Amino acid sequence: MYRIDSIKMKPPVNDERTELAVMVAKLTGLGPADINNLTILRRSVDARRKPDVVLVYNIAFDLTKPERGVKLLTSSRHGIEVKMYKPEEYQYQRRVGRLTAEEMRPVVVGAGPAGLFCAYMLALGGLKPIIIERGKSIEKRSMDVRKFWESGKLDTESNVQFGEGGAGTFSDGKLNSSVAGKNMFANEVLKTFARFGADKSILYSNKPHIGTDELKRVIMNMHKELENLGAEFHFECKLTRCIIKDGVLKGIRYKKNGETRERSCRYLALCIGHSARDTFYSLSMDGMIMEPKPFAVGLRVQHPQELINRDQYGAGYEKKKLPAADYKLTYKAASGRGVYSFCMCPGGYIVNASSEEGHLAVNGMSYMKRDSGWANSAIVVTVDKSVYGEGLFGGVSFQRELEMNAYNLGKGSIPIERAADYFREADADHLVKSEYTPMIKGKYCYAPLHELLPRVLYNDIKEAFTDFDRKLPGFANDNALFAGVESRTSSPIRIVRGEGLESNIEGIFPCGEGAGYAGGITSAAADGMKVAETMIKKYF
C-alpha cells in the first residue's frame, strides 16, 4: 500500500472516500479507477485561518495496476510525497492452554475499560477470567442512573461511577488519548471498539468519540463475546479483602447480597475505578503499598454550542457541515498552579455523577450526535498536598469534603450559578437566573457556588477566565453557567507496581485509572491489555 499525508479539502465533504480518490488521482496523475482500497488513516479539522476552515486527511491506498507503483513513488506532483505504507497489526498473546485448577482462573476486579479489556485479552489467551464488579450490568445500571437523574434517589452501588462499563460510559465515550496513534495498545483499543459496533470513524478521527448511547451497545456486544470465550461475570459483588500469606495472594473475600464469600485465586487484576474509596482503605489494611498523587478539582461551565462553533470556526460555519467544535484551554495562575479545561463535551449535558449519600459530584456527557445545542467542560485546578494536606488519603478526604459541601449548597441537587454572580460573589438572595437553558441530567438549583472551592482555587479560576475570554470571546460572558463540583478528574491514589506490573503483593496487578496508571477510556483500556499480556506470560 501507499500513503499520502496532509491532503486538504474544503468542507462540506459529502462522500469522503469518493472525493478523496478523485483528489488523489489529481495529485498523482493517476485516474480515479487506478485508486483501490482507499483507507482514511487520520482526519482532522484545521481552523487556524478561520473562516477558511479545511479538513486534513492522511490516507493509504493500493493500485488496481500494481506495476504503476514504481512511477508513483518516483514522481512528485503538487509537492505531494508518496510513501510505502504497511499497517501495524497488534499480535495477541494467543497461548490457549488447559487450566489445571479452578483457582488458576484469573480474577479481574472491576468491569470498566481497564477491566473489560484485561478480561478480553485473558479470555483470548484461554484463561477464562472471572470478572467481579460491585455495580450492575449495563442494562440494569442504565435504568438506575435514569431513575436517579429523575428522582434524586441514589443507588450507591449502581450509578454513574459503579457498574459495567465504568464511569466512562456516562462521560460520553470520548476516546481522546495522548498515546492514541503512537501506541499499539491504544490503536488496538480503537479497533476493538469498532469491531464490537462503534462507528468506524473512531479509527481515523483525531478526536475519536463513541457517545454514551452507542457505547452501551458496544459494551453489551463485548460482554457477549467474553462469555463466548469462557469468561464469567459476577455483578453486585464488592471486593472487601485480599487473602494473603507470606506476601503472596491466595484468594479474595467479597460481598454478594450482604453475604461474605471467599474465592481462591493466584492472579488478580485490580481494575477498580478511582471512586472505589472504600476499596482503597481495605487494600491499605491488606498491606498494599500506595502513595498519594496530584489531581485536579473545579467546576463545570456551560455555553451555547453556537458560541464555541463561531469562536473556533469563524463566520459561515453552519454551511460547512463541521462537527460541534470543542476547545482545549490552559493557563498558569500567579499561584503557580495550572488551570485547564478537562473532559470537554461538545453538544452535551452536565450530569449528576454522585456515588455516596450526602455527597455530590458532576461530570460531562454527550450522545453520539452531540446535538444538544450546548457545550460544557470542566475547568479545573491542579492540587497536591500543599492544598489537600499530608497523609495517604489526604486527597480522598479533600474530594469528599468538597462533594459534601456541594451537596449541602444545592440541598441535594446540583448547585449552579451564572458567571456574573459567581465572579461578583452574589449572596444567595441576589442570584439571577441565566438566560441559558441548564442542560443538566439530574435535579439542580441556583446556589452561591462561589463559596464552594477553597479561596486560593477560586482565585485561580477567576484569574484564568480573563485569559480564556481573550482566547474564546464570550467565554466569560455573564450568562455562562457554572455547576459543581468536578472532583473526580483522576485518582488521588497510585497503587505502586514494579517493572513486572505487580504490586508488592505477589499475584496482584494494579491496573487502569483507579490504580493511578491511566487518564481516560483509551489509556485505561490500553493499560488493561498491557497487564493481561504480563499475566498471560507469567501464567504460561
The mean pLDDT of 120-135, rounded to a whole number, is 95
The mean pLDDT of 27-37, rounded to a whole number, is 87
- Alpha-carbon span 306 to 312, nearest angstrom: 10
Which set of grid coordinates corresponds to residue 292? 498519594
pLDDT tens-place string over residues 187-198: 999 999 999 999
Please tell me what DSSP assigns to residue 169: G
DSSP letter string over 37-50?
EEEEEEEEEE-TTT
The mean pLDDT of 110-127, rounded to a whole number, is 95
The mean pLDDT of 252-270, rounded to a whole number, is 95
pLDDT tens-place string over residues 45-63: 999 999 999 999 999 999 9
pLDDT band at 95 (very low <50, low <70, confident <90, very high): low
pLDDT band at 204 (very low <50, low <70, confident <90, very high): very high
The mean pLDDT of 513-539, rounded to a whole number, is 93
- pLDDT of 342 > 70? The answer is yes
pLDDT for the residue 303: 98
Which domains, from first to last, does the chain contain? 2-84 (3.30.70.2700), 103-289+495-539 (3.50.50.60), 294-486 (no CATH)
The mean pLDDT of 93-97, rounded to a whole number, is 65
pLDDT for the residue 174: 72
- Alpha-carbon span 74 to 69, nearest angstrom: 9
pLDDT band at 514 (very low <50, low <70, confident <90, very high): very high
pLDDT band at 78 (very low <50, low <70, confident <90, very high): low
Let me know the angle formed at the C-alpha of 405 by 402 and 483, rounded to the nearest 5 degrees: 80
pLDDT for the residue 179: 47
The mean pLDDT of 368-386, rounded to a whole number, is 96
* Average predicted confidence (pLDDT) for the chain: 93
Please tell me what DSSP assigns to residue 134: S
pLDDT for the residue 104: 86
- pLDDT of 270 > 80? The answer is yes
Distance of CA 321 to the CA centre of its chain: 26
- pLDDT of 346 > 90? The answer is yes
The mean pLDDT of 117-122, rounded to a whole number, is 96
- Alpha-carbon span 490 to 120, nearest angstrom: 24
Model pTM score: 0.94
- Alpha-carbon span 334 to 408, nearest angstrom: 31
Which set of grid coordinates corresponds to residue 208? 475519536
Q: Which long-range contacts (CB under 8 A, 24 or more apart) does 221-226 make?
A: 221/196, 221/197, 222/116, 222/120, 222/192, 222/196, 223/137, 223/138, 223/164, 225/120, 225/196, 226/116, 226/119, 226/120, 226/123, 226/131
- Sheet with 107-109, side-by-side order of all strands: 232-235, 130-133, 107-109, 268-270, 508-510
pLDDT band at 66 (very low <50, low <70, confident <90, very high): confident
pLDDT for the residue 183: 77
pLDDT band at 173 (very low <50, low <70, confident <90, very high): low
- pLDDT of 74 > 90? The answer is no
pLDDT tens-place string over residues 411-442: 999 999 999 999 999 999 999 999 999 999 99
- Using DSSP's 3-state secondary structure scheme, residue 300 falls into strand
pLDDT for the residue 383: 98
pLDDT band at 358 (very low <50, low <70, confident <90, very high): very high
The mean pLDDT of 395-417, rounded to a whole number, is 98
